[in-house]
Each structure stands twice: as C-alpha cells, then as structure tokens.
Amino acid sequence: MAPRGLSAEEKRVKLLEIFHESKDFYQLKELEKLGPKLKGIVSQSVKDVLQSLVDDNLVCSDKIGTSNFFWSFPSAKGVMLQKKSDSLEATLTSTQAAIETLKATIKEEESQRTIT
C-alpha cells in the first residue's frame, strides 16, 4: 500500500511549526515554497491550511500595501490560552454569584410560603 498524505490536522501542526521554528513572517508564495521543502505539505493545500490557522487565531495576518503577511510566535498561543482562562474564570465567578443569589431568593420565598 502506498503511503498516504498528511491529514489536515498534521498539516496544520507542521505549518505552524514553520512559523514557530523560524519566528519570522511570510507571504503566501514563500509558504507555498517552504511547505513542501521543509515539512512535506503539498503546495496546493498550503493556502487552505493557512486560512484555517488564521480563522482559529493561531496565525496572524495583515495586509501591507498589496502584500499579505502571515506570522505566529510560540508565545502567542500561551497568551491566547491565558486570556481564555481569565475569561472563563470571570464567567465562573459571576455564575457562582448568580447561583448564590438565586439560592438566597429561594430560601426567602420558602420561608414566606404558607403551608396549606
């Protein structure tokens, strides 16, 4: 059986490795040349994989003049995870406060209820 190509997730990881290992910025044409050479990603799929990484905020992009530049640094993922963690902790705290308020309201309403 002939070896199968890389899965979409493997391509994403390998393309992200290109950014993190070099800590540099690239244009799409450069990535289409480097992908097959360094990581074995078929050049026709580099654009789709790159777009999925941009959509997931793992790779940043910016248009400067007529060129689109792409970059990602290893610390960016840590910062993104920390922000998400802080956001979830804030949501948890506010939800717990709402639960306590509702419990107090229930207790108050039960004490005012007349038994029939």
What pLDDT does residue 96 have? 96
Closest among 34, 42, 55, 35 to 7, alpha carbons compared? 42
- For residues 39 and 47, the answer to whether their CB atoms sit within 8 Å is no
- Supply the mean pLDDT for the chain: 85
* pLDDT score for 81: 84
Highest mean pLDDT among 11-15, 22-26, 103-107: 103-107
Q: Are 77 and 51 in contact (CB under 8 A)?
A: no
Neighbours of 32 (CB within 10 A): 18
What number of CA atoms fall less than 13 Å from residue 107's CA on the CB side?
6
- Counting residues of the chain whose pLDDT is more than 90, the rounded percentage is 20
Residues 6+ apart with CB under 8 A from 62: 68, 69
In the chain, the percentage of residues whose pLDDT exceeds 70 is 94
Query: Mean per-residue pLDDT for 88-96?
Result: 96
Is the pLDDT at 3 greater than 60? The verdict is no
Q: Which SS3 state, helix, strand or coil, does residue 26 take?
A: strand
